Chain A
Amino acid sequence: MSDIAYPVRANPVTTEPRLARYILIGTVVVLIAILLFAPLIAVFAEALREGWSAAISSLSEPDARSAIRLTLLVAAVVVPLNAVFGIAAAWAITKFDFRGKAFLITLIDLPFSVSPVVAGLALVLLFGSNSALGAWFIAHDMKIVFALPGILLATMFVTFPFVARELIPVMMEQGRAEEEAALTLGASGWRTFFTVTLPNIRWALLYGVLLCNARAMGEFGAVAVISGKIRGETTTMPIMIEMLYNEYLSVAAFSLAAALAMLALVTLLLKSLLEWRYADLLSATRRH
């Protein structure tokens, strides 16, 4: 300890002048308010314009209920499948060396760079009645286009990269040493995966699954093309919202939109809850 008393600096050295700080913080707050909060509030306000009962009764219309059911079904099928594919792809890319790896990474990114409408059209071309493949499916009494399988395929295509993209950087950074250590300790490949790899990527996996889920429920373009928009049969929530809106059924449209937004908010809330619950474990395992 020194005897000389230095004047205490209240602010850390990285701080900016007061004016600059206020301008920067103010800009961020305004942007967040305009871009994120205002639209969300507008949707809920519009949905509740004629009161709760109007909103709820429009949600209990058979078509609205079938749209909600279909969207939940699509998410329930697509998200687990894409989680498994994403883990498998990320595992292969980060833990092994093989020819064509760069190509595979590009391929995984393809759905990000292709417009969903194009993806939907491509699926219609591939499985429609004019193609050999489509004719074969129709001959065997399986409907792909304008039916649930087509919606699932389109949604899977569009949401394919989310889990893999989230996992690859994390697994890349973690390297292979822990897996190799498990193997030298006598663990089998599966045991290594379940006791070492999976616990190490669980948070990235959770984020990937949440993003994938949000997109799977919200996908419009690809599904709009391939579903044929058959009311009460192949209309998912986003499609139904657009149809109601085009019919000037504003309360019904915004009630369904609010319900869709609620589904997203619930998943976000779930994520925050998990993070809060496991905060200690997170900080202990992330450093290292």
Chain B
Amino acid sequence: MFVEIEEIAKEFGAERALHPVSLSIPSGALIALLGPSGSGKTTLLRILAGLEFPTSGRVLFNGEDATGMTVQQRRAGFVFQHYALFRHMTVFENVAYGLRARKRKERPTEAEIGRRVNRLLDLIQLPDIGPRYPSQLSGGQRQRVALARALAIEPRMLLLDEPFGALDAKVRKELRQGLREIHDTTGLTTVFVTHDQEEAMELADLVVVMSMGRIEQVGRPGDIRARPASEFVRAFTTA
């Protein structure tokens, strides 16, 4: 699915989180929203998910206006910064949640739910953790379960908010590779938010550099490094 953002602005009270920004995300791309905290990157991601609504502007999915679509209708797989796993459910129930939440006639049978959950747990290379609770998992495992849960709903796109932010450097490297592989096998349009320029440059096809609610530059990692559009981009991407 390709996504277009047209002149999206967002205000929280008197505060301007996003100045009108526009961006086209090609189908199947892996995109990084890169910027320091307060740059509006998470707000933009939440607007795509339908968790936040823009003050003005439009969002288009496959050329169709999706601005007024509810979060449920958008069917975007969202991975939260601190994973937001349901703490009172086992890993299996966490991953199955989106399937069970479907309307009765669209809901898979219990056996089918089991098959799908197990397939996803295989995909994230944690086949045996279904009966465990989130509190019994390491940070890296929780992150992967959150990814499996988001993928279970057969999302139209994948949105990740600082997916590796809370992890140590070694786990982060492994999971980066894992995300790349999952993106390549599913072919999902994927947007992730990060403040780590190295992560953005290494992982993304296209990097969107943001600052103070504005998009400073959009480009391939190599192009941004070679030809930064502003002093801010140069300073931020070489840090």
Q: Which residues of A contact B (CB under 8 A)?
A: 177-178, 180-188, 191, 195-196, 199-200, 281, 284-288
Contact = CB atoms under 8 A, between A and B. Distances in A.
A196 B98 CA distance: 12
B82 A177 contact: yes
Contact of B149 (A180, A183, A185, A188): A185
Interface of B: 49-51, 71-72, 75-78, 80-82, 84-88, 97-98, 101-102, 133-136, 149-150, 152-153
Given A184-B78, A185-B153, A285-B133, A178 B84 contact: yes
Interface SS of chain A: helix, strand, loop or mixed? helix
A230 B33 CA distance: 72
29 contacts: A177-B82, A178-B86, A178-B87, A180-B51, A181-B84, A181-B86, A182-B97, A182-B101, A183-B51, A184-B72, A184-B76, A184-B78, A185-B98, A185-B101, A185-B150, A185-B152, A185-B153, A186-B101, A186-B102, A186-B153, A187-B72, A187-B98, A188-B101, A195-B86, A199-B88, A200-B88, A281-B88, A285-B133, A286-B135
The 5 closest A-B pairs by CB, nearest first: A185-B98, A177-B84, A187-B101, A184-B78, A181-B84
- Give the residue among B77, B102, B133 with the most A Cβ atoms within 10 A: B133
Contacts of B49: 184
A96 to B, nearest CB: 13
Contact of B80 (A181, A196, A286): A181
Contacts of B153: 185-186
Contacts of A181: 78, 80, 84-86, 149
Nearest to A184: B78
A36 to B, nearest CB: 33
Given A177-B80, A285-B133, A288-B134, A183 B86 contact: no
A284 B136 contact: yes
A186 B50 CA distance: 12
Contacts of B80: 177, 180-181
A196 B86 contact: yes
Contacts of A185: 97-98, 101, 149-150, 152-153
A184 B71 contact: yes
Contacts of A178: 84-87
Contacts of A183: 51, 71-72
A86 B98 CA distance: 29
Nearest to B146: A181
B10 to A, nearest CB: 15
B135 to A, nearest CB: 4
A195 B77 CA distance: 19
A75 B191 CA distance: 53
A196 B88 CA distance: 8
A240 B72 CA distance: 56
A178 to B, nearest CB: 5
A3 B87 CA distance: 44
Nearest to B106: A186
Given A178-B87, A285-B87, A285-B135, A191 B101 contact: yes
Given A285-B133, A287-B135, A188 B72 contact: yes
Nearest to A178: B84
A195 to B, nearest CB: 8
B144 to A, nearest CB: 15
A177 B85 CA distance: 9
B120 to A, nearest CB: 13
Contacts of A285: 87-88, 133, 135
Given A183-B51, A184-B71, A187-B98, 14 more contacts: A177-B84, A180-B80, A181-B80, A181-B85, A183-B71, A184-B50, A184-B76, A184-B77, A185-B101, A186-B101, A187-B97, A285-B87, A286-B135, A287-B135
A105 B98 CA distance: 34
Contact of A186 (B75, B133, B135): B75
A200 B76 contact: no
Contacts of B81: 177
A91 B78 CA distance: 23
A183 B81 CA distance: 16
A186 B51 CA distance: 12
B152 to A, nearest CB: 8
A185 B97 CA distance: 7
Contact of B98 (A177, A180, A186): A186
A199 B97 CA distance: 14
A284 B51 CA distance: 29
